[in-house]
Amino acid sequence: MFIAISQRLATQESYKELRQILALEWGHLFKSEFKGFLPLPLCFEIPFSSYESAIKACILSGGNDLSEFDESIENKMRDDYERQILKRCIELKMPVLAICRGAQFMAHFFGSTLKPCQNHIGSHLVRDIWGSEFRVNSFHRYAIANLGADLKCLALAQDKTTEAFKHKNLPFYALMWHIERENGLNDTRILNQFKHEILNFKGLQK
């Protein structure tokens, strides 16, 4: 069985070619944390609905900015495709895990407010709602200032911006750090909740 994963979009300037990119670290993460599942990279030219019968969950990966902040063709294409993913996953109640840029997009999709941020490059401490404090990696220029009404905060950065959240009624989870990189798995409580949702999701029949 597969877990779908969206990809970064980037233009290779030498060839003027638009490419989809997925970091190698995702393969290592799947081997260690998603045993029994294979990653299924999503192609932007194929509707998400064409994949849904083969997958049990979807990951919105990092990379790119939201088109709200940078109206490049790559950002617009990615926003459009990931909007399609979220709308369909809402209908199916399919588990979704959003990472970094994916978390920003999910937050924005559900009416949250984002703002430019400082000191979110490298690593920093976060505190979750269960009282644990741990260090996470950080590679984003925009932070979640206020969450939409349908979302619940699960962890805060020291500047009180949201570092992790979930949807109150859907199996949707989001982390502003990269679980596939160093300092990505210092606390796995939220990841384990997402994995539990995958096991509970029955999937679709072809």
Would you name the residues annotated as active-site residues? 100, 178, 180
Tell me the two tokens of residue 101: 């840029």
Where b means 16+ CB within 10 Å and e means fewer, 69-82 reads eeeeebbeebbebb
